[in-house]
């Protein structure tokens, strides 16, 4: 019996076409998508038919977690004189100075802490505990911010109406408004500078508190972040 | 990775050029691309956020005489509420699969007369609607109520929209003229909508209500706080029509 030797076939598959497809896909993803901003809580915004785009520069985002915690994110001007980092550092210093005026426990920040703060996309921590928070490692900070049981996370807010004794949220917002970046003030006045972002299932009562504070601050015009839907939904 | 094959196993005439076939193995390239795609899919978002602009009145106390009083015939009051379970999670409508938002509304003044003193309001004008949107091109639910209230404006804007679709007028012109019509004080039956949100009402329902204002081209609306009369009306409504 003669052995039948199977003919050896080459197993080479031409991957060129596959490679073409993947490169195309990659290009598509790179061009159409934007990077996710790191946020301490994930919120699903409600949808509306409004087609106004969120501005990229000179925007203060007020993120409201379902538990009512408030986080802020400040972006600066496209012009590097008022870049996000510079604006954040300035806002922090103004806010701390304002806080020290009305509180007996004074806050001292080192330049390293300010530099660290200016690199954070989103912040929200009790001012009194901010220096200790800034000294921590990145992953510890993230854990502290996203822990719903941490009473120190989130900017403290109440229904204070007296701007001579502002609460911390009011201190922050005023510091942002008064920053030396003139475009920020303009955009807040025109109603494009502040965007409130809240989850669709959050009770209105929770968000109302924030809207009420903005009204007290006379920042009556602002925008609400939504996703897009059509009129038929 | 790259292989060069010689064809014709050596049976060649002298002087003829050797035919070379070059194979480049693209597998590692594909692997790398796939990794990159995975990275981009996980770290980026395709959803671009939109915004809805609102202007709230200032918090300062306004004198009674200076307040703008809406005419009774034009006023529509919406009271938003969302059904929630014991843990505070939003309930979903079994039929439509949408969140169970209830929109209580009354036209004009609330009717709270209780002549026979049985603790129930005799002729409550409070009604309830839902956000349904359009169905088969017809307005439904709360949108229908608001649509009917703002008919004159909507009819005028529909004419304008047709012109715009036929490219008779430019985008900017369309926007400017639509705004003019929305704010035209000569149109007598423009409604004034007062949006009130109960403590349980979800953020989505408020946005939904603001959205209806935009869809129905209503220029006069305000967000107000719920008061005792409104709570009493809803309490009364629920006493008569208990939730399932």
- pLDDT tens, residue by residue, A47-104: 888 888 888 888 899 999 888 889 999 888 878 888 888 889 999 999 999 889 888 8
CA distance B76 to B192: 6
Contact flag A203-B58 (C-beta cutoff 8 Å): no
pLDDT of residue B6: 55
- pLDDT tens, residue by residue, B193-234: 888 888 888 888 888 888 888 888 888 888 888 888 888 888
* Mean pLDDT, range A18-47, rounded to an integer: 85
Is the pLDDT reported for residue B185 higher than 80?
A: no
* Mean pLDDT, range B135-155, rounded to an integer: 82
- Residue A175, φ and ψ in degrees, nearest 5: -65, -40
- The residue of A31, A48, A63, A66 whose CB has the most chain B CBs within 10 angstroms, and thus the best one to mutate to test that interface, is A48
pLDDT of residue A143: 87
CA distance A7 to B47: 54
B202 touches chain A (CB under 8 A): yes
pLDDT band at B90 (very low <50, low <70, confident <90, very high): confident
B112 is a domain residue: yes
- The residue of A203, A209, A230 whose CB has the most chain B CBs within 10 angstroms, and thus the best one to mutate to test that interface, is A203
Pick B51's closest partner by Cβ from A29, A52, A214: A52
pLDDT of residue B201: 86
Gap from B159 CA to chain A (nearest CA, Å): 19
Is the pLDDT reported for residue B35 higher than 90?
A: yes
Is the pLDDT reported for residue B40 higher than 80?
A: yes
Pick A15's closest partner by Cβ from B25, B37, B56: B25
B204 touches chain A (CB under 8 A): yes
Is the pLDDT reported for residue B51 higher than 80?
A: yes
B212 is a domain residue: yes
* Mean pLDDT, range B170-199, rounded to an integer: 83
User: Is A206:A69 a contact under the CB 8 Å cutoff?
Assistant: no
- Supply the range of the domain harboring residue B235: 70-150+189-240
Residue with more model confidence, B11 or B69: B69
Give A77's contacts (C-beta < 8 A, 6+ positions apart).
A57, A58, A83, A87, A181, A183, A184
pLDDT over 90 percentage in chain A: 9
Give A10's contacts (C-beta < 8 A, 6+ positions apart).
none
Q: What is the ipTM for the molecules in this complex?
A: 0.79
3-state SS class at A165: coil
pLDDT of residue B16: 63
Residue with more model confidence, A190 or B124: A190
Instruction: Work out how many domains chain B is built from and give that number.
Output: 1
Contact flag A25-B207 (C-beta cutoff 8 Å): no
- pLDDT tens, residue by residue, A187-229: 888 888 899 999 888 888 888 888 888 888 888 888 888 888 7
Gap from B215 CA to chain A (nearest CA, Å): 7
Specify the long-range contacts of residues B68-72, CB closer than 8 Å, at least 24 apart. B70/B192, B70/B194, B70/B220, B71/B192, B72/B108, B72/B109
Is the pLDDT reported for residue B179 higher than 70?
A: yes
Residue with more model confidence, B58 or A97: A97
Residue with more model confidence, B86 or B150: B150
Is the pLDDT reported for residue B62 higher than 60?
A: no
3-state SS class at B38: helix
B54 touches chain A (CB under 8 A): yes
B163 is a domain residue: no
Contact flag B37-A29 (C-beta cutoff 8 Å): yes
Contact flag A19-B80 (C-beta cutoff 8 Å): no
3-state SS class at B78: strand
CA quadruple A132, A135, A140, A144: dihedral sign: positive
* Mean pLDDT, range B39-59, rounded to an integer: 80
Cβ neighbours of A210 in B, within 8 Å: none
User: Is B187:B152 a contact under the CB 8 Å cutoff?
Assistant: yes
Residue with more model confidence, B10 or B126: B126
pLDDT of residue A184: 86
B215 is a domain residue: yes
* Mean pLDDT, range B142-166, rounded to an integer: 85
pLDDT band at B83 (very low <50, low <70, confident <90, very high): confident
Contact flag A35-B26 (C-beta cutoff 8 Å): no
Tell me what the pLDDT averaged over chain A comes to.
86
Residue with more model confidence, B4 or A63: A63
Nearest to B31 by CA among A23, A11, A29, A28: A23
pLDDT of residue A46: 86
pLDDT of residue B32: 92
Is the pLDDT reported for residue B2 higher than 70?
A: no
B203 is a domain residue: yes
B29 touches chain A (CB under 8 A): yes
pLDDT band at A23 (very low <50, low <70, confident <90, very high): very high
Q: Tell me the CB-side half-sphere exposure of residue B162, using CA atoms within 13 A.
A: 5
Chain B (91-110) residues lying within 8 Å, Cβ to Cβ, of chain A:
99
pLDDT of residue B33: 92
Radius of gyration, CA atoms only, chain B: 31
């Amino acid at each position: 019996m003669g052995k039948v030797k199977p003919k050896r076939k080459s197993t080479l598959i031409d991957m060129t076409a596959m490679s073409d497809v993947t490169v195309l896909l990659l290009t598509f993803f790179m061009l159409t998508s934007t990077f996710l901003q790191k946020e301490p809580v994930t919120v699903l915004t409600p949808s509306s038919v409004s087609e106004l785009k969120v501005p990229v520069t000179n925007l203060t985002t007020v993120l409201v977690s379902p538990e009512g915690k408030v986080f802020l994110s400040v972006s600066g001007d496209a012009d590097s004189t008022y870049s996000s980092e510079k604006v954040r550092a300035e806002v922090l210093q103004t806010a701390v100075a304002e806080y020290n005026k009305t509180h007996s426990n004074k806050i001292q920040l080192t330049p390293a802490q300010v530099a660290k703060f200016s690199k954070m996309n989103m912040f929200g921590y009790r001012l009194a505990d901010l220096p200790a928070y800034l000294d921590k490692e990145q992953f510890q900070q993230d854990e502290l911010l996203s822990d719903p049981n941490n009473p120190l996370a989130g900017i403290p807010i109440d229904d204070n109406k007296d701007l001579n004794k502002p609460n911390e949220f009011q201190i922050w917002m005023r510091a942002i408004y008064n920053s030396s970046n003139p475009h920020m003030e303009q955009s807040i006045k025109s109603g494009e500078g502040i965007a409130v972002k809240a989850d669709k299932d959050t009770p209105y009562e929770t968000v109302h508190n924030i809207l009420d504070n903005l009204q007290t601050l006379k920042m009556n015009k602002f925008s609400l972040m939504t996703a897009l839907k059509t009129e038929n939904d | 990775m790259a292989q060069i094959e010689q064809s014709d196993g050596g049976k060649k005439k002298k002087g003829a050029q050797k035919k070379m076939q070059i194979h480049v193995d693209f597998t590692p390239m594909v692997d790398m691309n796939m990794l990159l795609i995975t990275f981009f899919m996980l770290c980026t978002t395709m959803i671009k956020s939109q915004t809805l602009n609102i202007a709230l009145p200032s918090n300062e106390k306004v004198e009674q005489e200076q307040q703008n009083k809406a005419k009774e015939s034009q006023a529509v009051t919406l009271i938003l509420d969302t059904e929630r379970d014991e843990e505070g999670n939003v309930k979903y409508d079994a039929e439509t699969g949408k969140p169970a938002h209830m929109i209580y509304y009354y036209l004009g003044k609330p009717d709270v007369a209780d002549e026979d003193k049985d603790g129930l309001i005799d002729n409550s004008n409070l009604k309830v609607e839902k956000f349904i949107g359009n169905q088969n091109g017809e307005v439904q639910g709360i949108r229908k109520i608001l649509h009917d209230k703002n008919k004159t404006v909507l009819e005028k804007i529909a004419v304008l929209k047709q012109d715009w679709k036929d490219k008779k007028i430019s985008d900017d012109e369309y926007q400017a003229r639509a705004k003019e019509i929305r704010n035209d004080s000569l149109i007598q039956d423009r409604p004034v909508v007062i949006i009130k949100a109960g403590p349980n009402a979800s953020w989505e329902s408020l946005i939904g209500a603001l959205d209806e204002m935009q869809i129905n081209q209503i220029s006069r609306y305000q967000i107000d706080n719920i008061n005792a009369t409104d709570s009493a009306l809803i309490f009364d409504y629920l006493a008569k029509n208990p939730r399932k």
